[in-house]
Amino acid sequence: MILVVSANPSVDTILRFKEFGMGKVNRVLSEERYPGGKGVHAAYGIKELGEDVEILGIWAGPEGEWIKEQCEKSGIPVSGITVAGNTRSCFTIKTGNDTDDTEILMKGPKTEPEETALFLEKFDEKIKMADMVVISGSLPEGMTGSSYSRMVKTAHERNVKVMIDVAPDYMSKALKHKPFAIHVNDDESREITKENDISKRITKLGKHTGMVALTKGKEGLYLSCCGKTIHAFTHIDKVISAVGSGDSLTAGIAVATLRNYSPEETARLGVACGAANCLREELGMFYKKDVEDILNKVEINRI
């Protein structure tokens, strides 16, 4: 079982407009709601690929209950703690055929120190049943990056592989405890390492983790592990939405790691999952069939 930590989940809402203008009255043509947050997206991808997964989250108010219900309907168990307030909402604004989505990300609830302690206790309980851990996304107000560091340290001590996909400030702290794998995008890797050259960034990050997955938008994935650095990419003719593609890639790499895939197979599955997400209206979700169709179209180059 893969345990996914999603401390700050969200209700993802797509708002569609004929056109959208700042300082104007904008009328919504339609709206769709999906369970979201980076960790929830990753969990849905892991489930779609056929692996057992559970979400450990912090839930608040009716929105939090709605996300839990949707996950459970999809066959994904949820656990964690409930706090005051309301789970955040995130809005994606779409206009016409434009694929450059505008995103508005809300803050979410605030946690108290005793609630943080309880959440970490829940993590300690759940990791005993996990074969791997994925820590993904932001933290609610009241929690600090030391919480993620503590989880990585615990996983390391229990010899459970942990993959993290979090903001640069959280990532920098967690790297001190040597997670098994990390996922960073181009900007995040540059902020963490203070290097412009991508090879130097990968080398620096690789000193603190066994696997570096660095994504660079349409250029694809740079995966470094087992003494190899691989560039993997594919082309999508029609992108419906790229929101959540990075989380889908995280899901693919986590599943490949659990299955002990080779670096080449891991890169191929990760890229295929990220690309498959672009073919679907639902945010941060993909179909296994699309992944299978894309797998052989992923180009792999050894660097």
Domain boundaries, the chain: 2-302
* pLDDT at residue number 193: 97
What's the pLDDT at 298? 96
Beta carbons of 277 and 245 less than 8 angstroms apart: yes
- The pLDDT, as a whole number, for residue 198 is 95
Q: Which portions of the chain are predicted below pLDDT 50?
A: none
The CATH homologous superfamily to which domain 2-302 belongs is Ribokinase (3.40.1190.20)
